[in-house]
Structure 1
């Protein structure tokens, strides 16, 4: 959600003083996207649907069993694992941010050097290997 939309929603939310109004507000598709988990969201994206699971596992360099545990919801992926999957699928920054939120991980922060590099890599659709090379070039730790 872009900043102006968020500000508009915050303004509307500030005037809500009843559960009835709250329920109506939450039904607005601009407010919530309806996803409650990372796997549910991730697997719904067109970019992910267009890639075979085997290829996604290869591109992300995750262990096959770990990938399937994440997708079944039996393992909670860490921040770097989510970013690996998003890079492997070629997701946008917006999609990656939502994936991080739903997985319970911190979103990319524009004042952190490593996160700046990761953001640029996502925007470039750099992939995991090229992202790690870029991180290394600037003395930052690779995606683990």
Structure 2
């Protein structure tokens, strides 16, 4: 099946007279990947181990493995931390955020803007947290 463009789906929603009309037509277009499924997919794509990702994401092993096993759902900040653990690019991290049901990084939000900058500069998570802290915005690892 060919994936439909987001703009096409958006237009279908806008022009529908009832929810059933687009929900039925678009059922196969909705992204339903849960975080654990997407993390497993990334493990295969990036050729890394869970322990490598967990360590680079500054997560405790018990919590990190619960994310990978689907026993806990990571919040947006933890997804971003995991993105650093996988050493994702900005585009890859935004895809990860979308696929796991979270908002992409937004350049008009100062916290997000610094994360975008850090990713663009290929900072690791520790250096990114230092940057966020420097601007009084907390850190990725402290966000809940």
TM-score by length of structure 1 reads: 0.73
| Partner residue in 1 for 2:34 | 37
Looking at structure 1, the residues matched to 13 and 72 of structure 2 have their Cα atoms a distance apart, in angstroms, of 34
Aligned residues between the structures: 136
| Partner residue in 2 for 1:91 | 88
- Residues 47, 90 of structure 1: 8 Å contact kept: no
Q: CA RMSD in A?
A: 2.8
Shift of 1:106: 4.2
Segments of structure 2 that go 5 or more residues without pairing to the other structure are none
Superposition pairs of residues 1-144 of structure 1, within 5 angstroms: 5-15=5-15, 23=24, 25-27=26-28, 31-33=29-31, 35-45=32-42, 49-144=46-141
Looking at structure 2, the residues matched to 17 and 41 of structure 1 have their Cα atoms a distance apart, in angstroms, of 34
Segments of structure 1 that go 5 or more residues without pairing to the other structure are none
Residues 50 and 10 of structure 1: is their aligned pair in 2 closer, same or farther, counting only changes over 3 Å?
A: same
Looking at structure 1, the residues matched to 45 and 61 of structure 2 have their Cα atoms a distance apart, in angstroms, of 16
Shift of 1:66: 0.5
TM-score by length of structure 2 reads: 0.73
Looking at structure 1, the residues matched to 140 and 22 of structure 2 have their Cα atoms a distance apart, in angstroms, of 43
